[in-house]
Amino acid sequence: MRPLQPVRGTQDLLPEVARRHRQVTETARAVAELYGFAEIATPIFEFTEVFSRPIGQTSDIVSKEMYSFVDRGGEEVTLRPENTAAVVRAVLSDGLIHNAPLKFFYNGPMFRYERPQKGRYRQFHQIGVELIGVAQPQGDIEVIALGGRILDALGIRQRTVLELNTLGDLQSRAAYREVLVSYFSSRVSELSEDSRRRLERNPLRIFDSKEASDGRVCLEAPAFEEFLNTVSREFFARVCDGLDLLGISYRLNPRLVRGLDYYTHTAFEFVTSDLGAQGTVIGGGRYDGLIEMMGGPATPGVGWAAGIERLAMLIDEPRGPRRPIAVVPIGEAAEAPALALAEALRNNHYVVDLGYSGNVARRMRRADRVNARIAVLIGEDEIARDVVTLRDLDSGEQSEAPMDQSLSQLGARLRTFYG
């Protein structure tokens, strides 16, 4: 029998990593609240059509990457590969659409069958925001500003660059798509196999290719800017003006695209060069066509998602938990008093580690292993005199403290160890 291992592309979030994830999530949640975004949580799996309908059966996500299966009731369900469609489904099925504008923050695991790389897993975790029902450029500006403020709060804003582009409105996209298909068709022999498949169904996705041959062809492709109509140009100008007003720097990237048809106008990414090929830490854009595509009324939307794994790799080591107090009973008679004392200390907001078994030496080794600041020893002698022995685990010094039901004197002594 082979040793049990995690499934390829998954990882155990051991305490140190989990602490980094929590720092990202809690920071993002707090900043999102400043902008009036309320937390929402959708199921980890949905009916497959929630994702296949808007993303498209021929997209790589649906055709290659989704974890889909038929459950025991005969329903086809899918582990969510992203959360925007799930949030929109919740808005529609829970009758929230009439309360727009709606502002949501989320976090949780997503699932895609991809080749694992640094910062990319098959089960990965995201934070994200969705602003539904705001057609004005102010919506784009606000969600971008929110993303930048989260990066700033995490201490990594200076390690990223905001890249910005416009995809125009539906009319502009249609005009550009026609020209793009013609251009790529004329150079089809130079494209990779994946890009040839994308040519007819999703030509904008060719710009996402990491193949060197595709990159050379894309460099000479017609620029989207040439096909933007007046409405699209004015919308993007107002987004840029708003970011300038807020002092948010950005870099225009005419090759930054979103391949799905429901994306319009603003596309943006916060990128870093510190994670190798997986440089996007926040990616988003405006999706004015999504809600209608999913069966709702025509409603604008804009949002972004960020990979928690990647953000967690960039932040400084979070402050660890407060060092515990090790309560160490000496002898069987001390077990019950030690148990009661441990709980009383927790009632007073101390972190306590209670040794479960073993002699004093073994329990003290455990105290060292959990990085306890102080050990509180209770033996028959201490019980008889209503005291406890305090051992400073940094200096090795020992002293005694009286025990009373209110723990007032013991608490005063303990506070000297924690500052």
Which parts of 246-285 fold into alpha helices (H)?
A: none
If you average pLDDT over residues 158-163, what whole number do you get? 96
- Tokens encoding 316: 């400084």
220 backbone dihedrals φ, ψ, rounded to 5°:
-100, 5
Instruction: Using pLDDT thresholds of 50, 70 and 90, give the confidence band for residue 56.
Output: low
If you average pLDDT over residues 109-113, what whole number do you get? 94
pLDDT of residue 59: 60
| Interval 59-84: pLDDT, tens | 666 667 899 999 999 999 999 999 99
- Tokens encoding 340: 């009661």
Q: Average pLDDT over the chain, rounded to whole?
A: 91
Alpha carbon distance 336, 339 (integer Å): 5
pLDDT of residue 103: 98
Q: Are 44 and 79 in contact (CB under 8 A)?
A: yes
CA 207 from chain center: how many Å? Answer: 25
C-alpha dist (Å) from residue 364 to 118, 343, 372: 39, 19, 10
Which of 36-45, 49-58, 226-235, 402-411 is the least confident region? 49-58
Which of 277-281, 299-303, 309-313, 319-323 is the least confident region? 277-281
Alpha carbon distance 213, 190 (integer Å): 6
Alpha carbon distance 379, 362 (integer Å): 15
Long-range contacts of 230-236 (CB under 8 A, 24+ apart): 231/169, 232/166, 232/168, 232/169, 232/172, 232/265, 235/137, 235/166, 235/169, 235/265, 235/266, 236/166, 236/265, 236/266
Give me the domains of the chain, ranges plus CATH numbers: 15-169+229-314 (3.30.930.10), 325-412 (3.40.50.800)
Q: Is 0.85 topped by the overall pTM?
A: yes
pLDDT of residue 259: 67
Q: Are 172 and 263 in contact (CB under 8 A)?
A: no
Report which of 45, 47, 79, 43 is spatially closest to residue 61, judged by C-alpha positions: 79
Is the confidence at residue 7, as pLDDT, over 80?
A: yes
H/E element holding 291? helix 290-293
Strand pairing partners for 376?
A: 327, 390
Instruction: Using pLDDT thresholds of 50, 70 and 90, give the confidence band for residue 193.
Output: confident
241 backbone dihedrals φ, ψ, rounded to 5°:
-60, -40
